[in-house]
């Protein structure tokens, strides 16, 4: 049995042990539940006092779980990991910038924040080099990060330059006050001109690194879509997120039978009809929010990058 995590932007960090999990080592159990966190990282978290069992710090990574034990992970970042994150001079496309926040047009292929085993060449590494004040926030691996984009999704990403702004923007995100719109080219011809997909998303029990529509340990997820253009075999759609779950757009579009073109995880993974594309056709196109300091409405737009625009410039293949 797993408890729901009520924080929209973070993975699950609390569990209640069921009968079938009794006797499992604590470190083995947590590595099966938390993506990309190694047993060595779990062991460091135990040393850091960051893992609680029934409200008390765990003392042994090899602790044998008991029925109804409540496991809580206070942070996913071992103390040793933060020391490994260094500033790197990496070019960034800055769309908007002031003393409190930045909006970046992220390129496809860039990971947003470091994770265990991947501490270099991320957006955070680049941010630390360009904005040294973010180092003061480096209590974890995500200084300034308000939301994220998948590695192979390009487009607009909001970053805070101080803790006060970060907290205010996260609260806006939780209250659904930040509007995020995406452009996606999907497989097949979408019949409806517009619509909404309302289906809860949770971890896929068979493939732990994937998400799926499920009623078990899931969170509400709502995606609105509007057809922009129909082609012979594909449809260009504009999507607006009401919630921000992991892989939400990709999972929801798969569920209605129109996965994102080029998506190797939730789509067919095949590129057909003359299309040559090295990643999924998904781009964070528009962003609208209220500035937490000035109250001004900020509206920004990032055009499709060349690799995606080139596809649309060849309509005979679509």
Query: Which residues are marked as active site?
Result: 150
Lookup result for tokens 């990060």: 145
On the CB side of 266, CA atoms within 13 Å amount to 27
Separation between Cα atoms, residue 81 and residue 78, nearest integer Å: 5
3-state secondary structure of 98: coil
- DSSP 8-state symbol, 36: T
- How many angstroms separate the CA atoms of 215 and 211, rounded? 12
CA distances from 41 to 35, 179, 181, 272, 278 (A): 12, 36, 36, 42, 32
Token pair listed for 313: 């410039």
For the chain, strand residue ranges (E) read: 14-16, 51-53, 56-57, 70-73, 94-97, 101-106, 154-160, 179-187, 194-198, 201-203, 211-213, 222-230, 234-241, 282-290, 297-301
CB of 38 closer than 8 Å to CB of 116: yes
Q: What gap in Å lies between CA 294 and CA 269, rounded to an integer?
A: 45
Taking the alpha carbons of 258, 195, 221, 280 in that order, is the dihedral positive or negative?
positive
Question: DSSP of 2-20, one letter per residue?
Answer: BPPP--TTS---EEE--GG
Q: Which residues contact 60 (CB under 8 A, 6 or more apart)?
A: 26, 46
Cα angle vertex 279, ends 276, 281, to 5°? 85
């Amino acid at each position: 049995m797993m408890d729901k995590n009520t924080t929209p932007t973070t993975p699950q960090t609390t569990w209640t042990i069921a009968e079938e999990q009794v006797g499992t080592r604590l470190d083995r159990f947590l590595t099966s539940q938390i993506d990309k966190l190694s047993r060595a990282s779990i062991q460091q978290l135990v040393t850091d006092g960051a893992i609680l069992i029934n409200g008390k710090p765990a003392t042994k990574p090899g602790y044998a779980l008991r029925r109804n034990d409540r496991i809580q992970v206070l942070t996913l970042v071992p103390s040793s990991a933060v020391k490994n994150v260094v500033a790197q001079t990496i070019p960034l496309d800055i769309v908007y910038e002031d003393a409190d926040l930045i909006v970046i047009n992220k390129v496809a292929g860039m990971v947003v924040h470091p994770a265990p085993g991947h501490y270099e060449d991320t957006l955070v590494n680049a941010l630390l080099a360009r904005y040294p004040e973010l180092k003061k926030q480096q209590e974890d691996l995500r200084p300034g990060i308000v939301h994220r984009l998948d590695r192979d999704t390009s487009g607009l990403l909001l970053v805070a330059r101080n803790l006060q702004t970060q907290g205010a923007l996260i609260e806006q995100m939780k209250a659904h006050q930040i509007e995020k719109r995406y452009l996606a080219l999907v497989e097949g011809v979408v019949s409806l001109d517009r619509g909404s997909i309302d289906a809860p998303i949770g971890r896929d029990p068979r493939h732990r690194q994937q998400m799926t529509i499920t009623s078990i340990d899931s969170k509400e997820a709502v995606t609105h879509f509007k057809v922009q253009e129909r082609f012979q075999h594909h449809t260009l759609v504009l999507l607006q997120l009401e919630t921000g779950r992991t892989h939400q757009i990709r999972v929801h579009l798969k569920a209605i039978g129109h996965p994102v073109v080029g998506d190797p995880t939730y789509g067919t993974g095949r590129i057909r009809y003359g299309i040559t594309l090295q990643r999924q056709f998904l781009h964070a196109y528009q962003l609208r929010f209220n500035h937490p300091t000035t109250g001004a409405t900020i509206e920004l737009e990032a055009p499709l990058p060349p690799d995606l625009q080139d596809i649309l410039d060849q309509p005979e293949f679509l």
